[in-house]
Structure 1
Amino acid sequence: MGGFFTLFSYDLEDVIFSRIVATEADRPEPGHVPGITRYDGHSALPPWLAEHLRPDAPPREYEVSAGDHGHFHVAVRPSSDGGRRYFAFDVTRLTSTTAHLKRTAGLLLTSALLALLAAALLARLVARRLGRPLERMVEWSRSEGTPPPGDDGGVAEVRTLLDALLARDARIQEQLERERRFNRDASHELRTPLAVAQGAVEILELDPPRDAETFERLRRAVSQMGLLTEGILWLARERRTEESCELNRVSRELLALYGHLRRSGTIALTIESEGEVHAPLPASVARVMMGNLLKDALAYTGEGRIVIAIEPGAWTLTDTGVGFGRAEPGSESHGIGLSLVERLTQRFGWTLSIEALEPRGTRVTLRWHPPSGSR
């Protein structure tokens, strides 16, 4: 604003001087304004003034800076003999803005720099006051089991944000605990009747009933129920385990357990592996995760093949079924199988990816980070 008003006053000063000399030149009888000198003809002009004005200069007002001779505003008017009349107004002593413009600009620049420095210092102080408690809140939100920060920097907004995060964290912890408690209670409640059923199956295996097909269906259903209960129980556990399993063996057991679910006898079940592959996962959990994926593949594959590929860091199942997400309306599966697989992969730090193939088929991959140098 200071620079704007300085330039405005400088321009206004020139306009005023030009109006004064123009008014004087247009008077019928000039000579009323002190400091204005009349020159008839270009030859009458002082040399230091004549060099700035052409003899044929159009009639109007000119601003002339004559160096050591001063600063002038000159009005050029036509004379009766076809020449020019010149009215020179010496404004050297009247001009103040031009003389002090550099000093004013320096003061304005210095003031602007000081204002920027003050603003930077103020911003730094505010950032430090807000930044430190916010950094502590970020560290607290990223870590587990650490107490919440007690220093809010005296900023009401930071305290409000911290209270909101604490309330949200409390709700999440309450929901997680409620879910763990339900999973734990449900799995334990299921274990008792399941143990009775498994004991009954073992007793019947000693003297199999005449209806062998029904008995086999019962035995498999009890086995699947045991795997499902085991998976739910693992979700309720707070600590991870260092157990591992060999995936070729688990995959063969699953093919033997669920092979009867093939919709057609022409569906080929194949395991592709170059050797033993150990995965950081309990065998019971691997049976739940991979067994549910295999059952889904068998349910949606009418012909072709189902291939299980095992390699260090990945277990992949590929089928030639209808393709993930392409099942006809009303025929989709609504069980807890896939949901349980997703939650178990998150629980053990694995990743699950499902890809629909063209023109048919699905590829499901379970990945983990194998230790270096292991298979």
Structure 2
Amino acid sequence: MSDTASAPKPTPEEAVNRAPGLSVRLKLTLSYAGFLMLAGGLLLAVVWVFLLRYVPDRMMIIPGSTDIPLSESVVFPIRSGLLHVFAPKAAAALAFLLVFGLVGGWLLAGWMLAPLNRITEATRVAASGSLAHRIRLSGRRDEFRELADAFDAMLGRLEAHVAEQQRFAANASHELRTPLAITKTLLDVARHDPDRDTGELIDRLRAVNTRAIDLTEALLVLSRADNRSFSSEHVDLSLVAEEATETLLPLAERHGVTIETSGDHSPTIGSPALLLQMATNLVHNAIVHNLPEDGSVWVTTETRPDAVVLTVENTGEKYDPPSVSTLVEPFQRGAERVRNDHGGVGLGLAIVRSIAHAHDGTLTLTPRGDGGLRVRVELPVRHAKVPPVGSSTVGS
């Protein structure tokens, strides 16, 4: 086996190691000094050309015009004498510009790069795992301030995302642990009580197992939506809402809830399966969290110039705005987290929000004045030639 094939692959830390080089501050210093030297040299060259243009090469002194005897005439070389005087002065000036450029450039580069040093230090702090640190760079807006503000905003989003993921992991662990603990208890009871009715035990185990499966599938749907791991195609949101309503009609009849649907052709692009899951979750929540009897659900779709809108409203208990804002959090089932046979696993609206965001849409929850919720999902409009869907009313 060759040495190349047997050599271990570099780790990510080793892959970013680079040979030492000049610092940015030193590069800027040399650039400032070099530019200053170039400008000074050009200026001295212009002065020299100007002198050559207006100063003659040599000068003749006419006899009698000075103290020189009348019998003699003298010619003086003007340019060569001028060069002998000008060259040392020019060299001294360039030397001064070099020193001034290096010192001034070093100080100026350090002053200009000070914000970048703070950003670098904040990056190292964030890389160590501390996301609470912020740069908060003061001063008027410029490129460094915009970079610092963008970095602070990114840290804020990362900190919120990590906290949300930690809460989600804790809640998911708790929710998954509950059916497993119930299953263990039932099996222990059956083992210590062999005369117990096995039919009742099997029914309870089946119910607990079904709930665990539903929770696992909901987590998979949520992960799929968050990762946008789906293929997109043209979808009519009104047809999706109608299919979800028809599927849940038996559940609505058992709860004594009437569902009214209306809407026109609402074209968009996305995953038909995920959008159907989104609509199903909304209608399911509207049916389950409703009045004990004679409840109503309204499902409407509309098309705007820049978006298609799915709205699901239902009667029910009154909500205040703070409590409504928490309903989209995972494993939140209203104010009292009520469990029942059709209460779901607490991920319904969290899945709806993730699916909407995965399709570049928005989810808005507002309480109705006389009780219940109004949930609106807005998705980008994508026109496709599909016949419009009329209105219909279904219910108990």
Q: TM-score, normalised by structure 2?
A: 0.37
**Higher RCO, Cα 8 Å, sep 6+:** 2
Larger radius of gyration: 1
